[in-house]
Amino acid sequence: MSKMKNRVNQLVGAIGLLVIAFAIPLLIYAAPKYFGQKKLIANLDLNLPFWLYLIQFALGLGLAINLSKDFKSWLRSVVPNPKSLISVCVVAALAIFVCLAWVEPRHRVQSDESIFFSTAQNLYAHQVAGSCDEGEFNERGRLDCQKSVHNFKTKGVPFLYALGIPIFGHNLKWVFPLHLFLLIATIFLLFFAVRAWTANNNLAFLTAAIFAAQPTTLFQFRSTSVEPIYTLLFALSVFVFKWAWDKNTTKHWVFLALILAFFAQTRQETVFCLGAFIAFAAWRNLSTPNSPPGRGAEGGVGFSAFLLTLSIFCIPVLLTISYYQGYNFQGGEFSAHGHFFGNLKQAWNITVNTGLTKEGLLANPFLSSFSYLTACGILVLLAFSIIKKQWGIFLFLLLYFPQIFMVLNNVSGDLSIEINQRYTLIAFPVMAFLCAFALDKASSFLPQKEGLFFVFACAAVLWGNTLTYGESFKKNIMYSRNHLTTEEVEIHKWIKSAPEKNRIFIYARPWHFIGYGMNAIHYNSLNPQRLRELLYKYDGEVYYVRGLDCWDSQTYHKKAVERRIATVCDGFEQRFAIDESSIFTTTVTNNYRLIIARLKEHGASGQLFAPQEVVVELPENAEWLGVPTEHRQDWGQLQIDKSVTGKPLTIAKKRYRKGIGTHANGMLRYDLSGKYERLTAVLGLDEDEFCSNGAQVKIFGDGNLLADTGRLAQGAEYLLDISLSGVSQLVFEIDGLGDISCDHIDIAVPVLYK
């Protein structure tokens, strides 16, 4: 009777824990939508994560110490002889070589990654899990954050960085070498995880080798993207999952739950892959009713404790999801929601049609063989599951798939946007396993020695293929056209070359500086009184940065969400005086100008980009070239005395009142009837937009080439002066040179002389 009563109490307790575990995410999701508690969710999203992470880490450390002897004894049974790890060491060494020798350490997605940095600074200084958008560091290096804001990024990675700040310092450049250690750890953990579950050295080795050989993997581990930490925690979770599965005690399941809960803090949609772990944990716990005392399955308490622990420590990411529910993450012409099949098809096409550019570089950071082998692996795994009636791996991967669905459907997995290509890394460990599974099954048809040779030959061929693309790595093909990351590189080059001083930067994205331990505020936050205070505080070292945001009035990519603030920059420069002797300027990707200038309190105000008005009087016996007899252009409408966007004609920082505004690709034809002797004009790209890759204009007279501008870059002007003697047909042919984005061509002050 007493035994039955204990069983009933255990069952009631288990059910109670399950109810709480399920209630937590439901209440968090419903709070803003059904109970009007968005303000509460917002407050918790900023102020709860840091303390919950501390508790989570303390519990995890305590359990790790408590279970250390057990882990050592279990490890001996699943880890192979150290000699068999030599091949994995070779793979890790190759990966590190490529990263150090060929891949430049830099952000891949500037704003996203700098948000993690600035959030880490805020967590360390104020325990606030919001991005610090404006702030200053005092003489002791403590951040005074003047503006904390929500962001839809998860908070786990910034917390890890915050833990490193007291050891490595506020300049978070140390994260770049840290990621190299993460790469080594991920390679070995993938090997151990597959080896633990399958007892197959060949399969484990191939999985690790194929994952590490992918260009995207190597690029990402040289950045500070969240995906490298995601892959590390995924491999760790699968490895510890096997330990918990074998031991099946409440302690082991709770320890796994703590790891999985932090794994969920890497990306929002990661919570949707946890179903794979939850389902198999439930089956393992609840299908063994006769477990000895202390086992997790006893009365279902082990699984209930596992699920409750997971639910509690997933609260930070659940708060972020709840706060941002309904938010259209991507926007643009290919919005985030409802494009799963389109994105899946596009992802396949992009990853199997990599090809080479005319410069001989990879068109994108994927290898076609990886995608084809993955497809083969899926078919082989399905056949294996049917024939052997062993569905465990297949079902686990199927339950893991909802996260991939969420990325492709709800977070916009449109891989034509280069910054989205990093998303693929979350699928790469699984894809690598599927590739390895197909190759391993192929090797099983060979004798043991030949099969082993086949495995190593496959790894050698795959890695050999990767190593042939050294120039693609060196040229930074992954996001090589990401102008914000290039802008950051140029800014840091200037900072490194300038004398070391305590400075403050006025910038459109202050958090970029704050992440590296530098002072920064936004343009809008500066007024004359505050400028005087800052000039005194920083001994005149107050710098204004005119970057990308100040040039483009429209987004560079129609599918992205960038917004430009050129009018804010123009107004700023009209209000504040610039010390022109301090100006640093360079041309960045897509030909916009990066300018760094020191501000001063007094002096004549003037814009850094203040076009000079050029007035050209019409000579006697001459007339303006006007509306063409015939014309065509691939974008916009032809304009007279205005640019194609309807703004003043501006070429090479000079503004003209007369002329023609058109766009590449295009053609203008004039019937002159041989009445004119000469034509003069100024040709160039209009400076309303600074995102053109260049254009070319050729001028023909009766089919004969009269002038060729060559490639017109932004900021260049071509002075046209040609003879028209006897010419009846004058034709302008405008070539966008392959990409017509922002190819706004001005033909300024075109004068026909009779």
- What's the rounded Cα separation, in Å, for the pair 506 and 508? 7
Domains of the chain, residue spans: 2-71+84-147+154-323+364-474, 483-610, 613-753
Give bridge partners of residue 362 from the DSSP assignment.
Answer: 356
Provide the pLDDT for residue 609.
Answer: 67
- What's the rounded Cα separation, in Å, for the pair 170 and 156? 18
Provide the pLDDT for residue 297.
Answer: 47
Environment class of 10 (CB within 10 Å of its CB; exposed 0-12, middle 13-18, buried 19+): middle
Residue type, 451: G
Pull the structure tokens for residue 387: 């024939």
Provide the pLDDT for residue 621.
Answer: 87
3-state SS class at 242: helix
Q: What is the pLDDT of residues 98-144, one digit of tens each?
A: 999 999 998 887 778 899 999 999 999 999 999 999 999 998 889 99
Provide the pLDDT for residue 123.
Answer: 97
Provide the pLDDT for residue 534.
Answer: 95
- What's the rounded Cα separation, in Å, for the pair 128 and 498? 33
Pull the structure tokens for residue 80: 């192979």
Buried b vs exposed e over 162-171: b needs ≥16 C-beta within 10 Å?
bbebeeeebe
Count CB-CB contacts under 10 A for residue 42.
16
What CATH architecture applies to the domain 613-753? Sandwich (2.60)
- What's the rounded Cα separation, in Å, for the pair 197 and 576? 65
Q: What is the mean pLDDT of each run of 10 residues along the chain (754 residues)?
A: 53 70 89 90 95 97 96 90 88 96 88 91 96 92 91 92 95 95 97 96 96 96 94 97 94 96 94 93 73 48 90 95 74 60 86 84 92 96 93 93 84 74 92 97 92 94 95 88 85 92 94 95 92 94 90 49 61 83 80 86 67 84 92 93 91 90 95 92 85 88 94 87 94 91 91 92
> CA nearest 108: which of 417, 374, 557?
417
Name the residue with tokens 């915050």.
Answer: 162
- What's the rounded Cα separation, in Å, for the pair 539 and 535? 6
Provide the pLDDT for residue 71.
Answer: 96
Provide the pLDDT for residue 567.
Answer: 63
Give DSSP secondary structure letters for 337-400: TT-HHHHHHHHHHHHH---B-TTS-BSSS--HHHHHHHHHHHHHHHHHHHHHT--HHHHHHHHH
* β-bridge pairing 131-137 and 744-753: unpaired
Contacts of residues 98-102 at CB distance under 8 Å and 24 or more positions apart, as own/partner, are 98/218, 98/466, 98/467, 98/473, 99/180, 99/183, 99/218, 99/221, 99/222, 100/180, 102/470, 102/473, 102/474
Pull the structure tokens for residue 433: 């396993």
* β-bridge pairing 519-522 and 504-507: parallel
